[in-house]
Amino acid sequence: KAGVTQTPRYLIKTRGQQVTLSCSPISGHRSVSWYQQTPGQGLQFLFEYFSETQRNKGNFPGRFSGRQFSNSRSEMNVSTLELGDSALYLCASSAGLAETYEQYFGPGTRLTVT
Amino acid sequence: GDSVTQMEGPVTLSEEAFLTINCTYTATGYPSLFWYVQYPGEGLQLLLKATKADDKGSNKGFEATYRKETTSFHLEKGSVQVSDSAVYFCALGIGYQKVTFGTGTKLQVIP
């Protein structure tokens, strides 16, 4: 079974620009979660999608948004990039069942904002 | 809100030493508890989990017991190897797929 894939793996953007990151979950998984990982803040939950609906949201500004498609692939968008958005963005997929939290992580997208 | 506190790193051990990484949590309700491991340049991998009090999760020689009375989930391994060098994250899950992670503890094992 193929694992979680994220594209692109590395990205360099300039302040003020916007960026879209993509995540393809494991086949059959309907839940996709996004996390931001930085040395200072650690891993922070952004949001989670299940069957194209956002079920959970973390404490991030509205510049961070996401969506999920009917094939469970998900995209995350960050608008008006700031230097502080430089981070590793991790996507995780799971079956999405109520009591199942086994998440399978992708390798991440390393975003650098200059 | 829900939170996880784990010991600061880095932790440096000699090969075959005993490992303990402390983790305590605060949660409303009854969370599931996890340990994830992140090797350099990779995403996180689930190492072990426990879904209710007194459950013991184990994998690859690592163990952790869900202690409700002390709200703890300490990770232990009897004999570490160089290949265990990584960052270890304690986490709790409550509600639909909302997982809260600790800050991570870097483990370095020297030959």
Instruction: Tell me the per-residue pLDDT of A30-74, one tens digit each, with 9 for 90 and over.
Output: 999 999 999 888 889 999 999 999 988 989 999 999 999 999 999
Confidence of residue B109 (pLDDT cuts 50, 70, 90): very high
Name the residue among B103, B99, B73 with its Cα closest to residue B88: B103
pLDDT of residue B93: 87
Residues of chain B with C-beta less than 8 angstroms from the C-beta of A99: 32, 51
pLDDT tens per residue, range B42-89: 889 999 999 999 999 999 999 999 999 999 999 999 999 999 999 999
Cα–Cα distance for residue pair B84/B79, rounded to 1 Å: 10
* The pLDDT of residue A99 is above 60: no
Cβ A78 vs Cβ A64: under 8 Å = yes
* The pLDDT of residue A82 is above 60: yes
Under DSSP, the state recorded for B36 is: E
Please judge whether B96 and A50 are an interchain contact, meaning their C-beta atoms are less than 8 angstroms apart. Answer: yes
Residue A96 at interface with chain B, using a CB cutoff of 8 Å: yes
Which candidate from A4, A48, A107 shows the least CB-CB separation from B97?
Answer: A48
Which candidate from A43, A96, A108 shows the least CB-CB separation from B97?
Answer: A96
| Strands annotated E in A9-108 | 10-13, 19-24, 31-38, 42-50, 53-57, 64-68, 74-78, 87-94, 104-105
Distance from the Cα of residue B69 to its chain's centroid? 18
